[in-house]
Structure 1
Amino acid sequence: MSAKMQKIKSIRKGRLEPTEEAVRIPMAFLADEANVSQEGKLNVLGIFDRIAAAAFPTVHPRMVFAFRLQAEYEDAGRTVPVRVRLMDEDGGTLFEAQGEVTPPPIPPGEFRTFNQLFELVGVEFRQPGLYKFVVQVGDLPPHETPFGVVLVDPEGR
């Protein structure tokens, strides 16, 4: 039986206590632009997983790291710490932000989402390699969004 079915089954039996920590990240990406509309819709333009540079160090003018947190009934009212880091291959941190999310009341069997956007301007990449955004939500395993920074010739190949 899936974890989701176990949760629903325990709610139907009248047991309303949490069955497990359910906050999760159903999606995360790096994009040229992202915003959240008045209605709460996530708008995205230009998702990418590679930055090309003709020389190093290089500065990327602007990018948006976005991810969505999803909370369920069990998470309502429980404050969850969230930590976001941009890391290089050697484990060095280029960017870090920390905060908390406290989901509002959520009816049994339903979920709520919380879009998180981080605009990064003028990030310097000292060398080509594999970089990643690491999102830590509470005690859950970290969610990683990798991307490459590569050297290309001046014609962009």
Structure 2
Amino acid sequence: MQSKPSLLAWITCDGVHLDPASGKHTILGVFSNIKARSFPVTHPYMVWFLTLTDVQPGTHRIRMSMGLNPANPVELIAREFESQSPLHRINLINELRNLRFDQPGDYAIVIEVDDDPILATNLTVT
């Protein structure tokens, strides 16, 4: 039986720098909520950084969705990534630009790999 991918890290931040010499990731401006003066508000740029392991070799698809209604989130990111071995740690940098929030609330975030949910969390916007 194959194991399902495991999420080792999930970070919302302002940016991620990848050092070309060492391959190390530097994570900039970690945050867990957004404060707005008025609504609707557009957040210009953020990164959802995550690290996966236990991913079987081959091509896989990650999907990230968000919304005020957890039963009906809107897809924000859908893309493919490669795994060489279930022993590897896979770092994925996911950029989100001009994300609009029409009202304050707890926005549900769902992350799926190959249509299998691996994370359900939220982002509070006040």
Place the TM-score, normalised by the shorter chain, in its bin.
0.7 to 0.9
Residue in 2 that maps onto 1:13: none
How far off its partner does 1:139 sit? 4.9
Structure number with higher helix proportion:
1
CA RMSD of aligned residues (A): 2.1
Q: Identify unmatched segments of 5+ residues in structure 1.
A: 1-18, 151-157
- Aligned in 2, Cα 1:102/1:92: closer, same or farther, shift over 3 Å? closer
Any idea what SS the aligned residue of 2:117 has?
coil
Residue in 2 that maps onto 1:44: 27
Within-5 A mapping of 1:58-137: 58-71=41-54, 75-76=56-57, 78-85=58-65, 87-90=66-69, 91-93=72-74, 95-104=75-84, 106=85, 111-137=87-113
- Code of the residue aligned with 1:29 in structure 2: it is I
Aligned counterpart for 1:34 among listed residues 16, 20, 25: 16
- Aligned in 2, Cα 1:119/1:99: closer, same or farther, shift over 3 Å? closer
- Code of the residue aligned with 2:51 in structure 1: it is R
Give the whole-Å Cα distance in 1 for the aligned partners of 2:68 and 2:92.
Answer: 24
Q: How many pairs were matched up?
A: 123
Give the whole-Å Cα distance in 1 for the aligned partners of 2:10 and 2:110.
Answer: 10
Runs of 4+ in 1 over 6 A off after TM superposition: none
Larger Rg: 1
Q: Identify unmatched segments of 5+ residues in structure 2.
A: none
Give the whole-Å Cα distance in 1 for the aligned partners of 2:97 and 2:82.
Answer: 28
Structure number with higher strand proportion:
2
Give the whole-Å Cα distance in 2 for the aligned partners of 1:34 and 1:41.
Answer: 10
> TM-score, length-normalised on structure 1?
0.68
- Aligned in 2, Cα 1:98/1:121: closer, same or farther, shift over 3 Å? closer
